[in-house]
Amino acid sequence: MTVATITLSREGQIVIPKEIRDKLHWGAGQELIIDMTESGVLLRSKPAERKLRLEDLRGFMKYDGPPVSTEKLCRPVEYAGDWDDPEQPNR
Q: Do residues 81 and 88 make contact, with C-beta atoms less than 8 angstroms apart?
A: yes
User: Based on the structure, what is the number of domains in the chain?
Assistant: 1
Grouping H, G, I as helix, E, B as strand and the rest as coil, residue 45 is strand
Backbone angles phi, psi at 32, to 5 degrees: -120, 155
For residue 40, the enclosing domain spans 8-46
CATH code, domain with 42: 2.10.260
Q: Does 1 fall in a domain?
A: no
Q: What is the pLDDT of residue 45?
A: 93
pLDDT digits (tens, 9 = 90+) for 38-66: 999 999 999 888 787 888 787 777 778 89
Q: What is the pLDDT of residue 33?
A: 95
Band (pLDDT 50/70/90 cuts) for residue 90 is low
Q: Does 87 fall in a domain?
A: no
pTM of the model: 0.50
Q: What is the pLDDT of residue 86?
A: 65
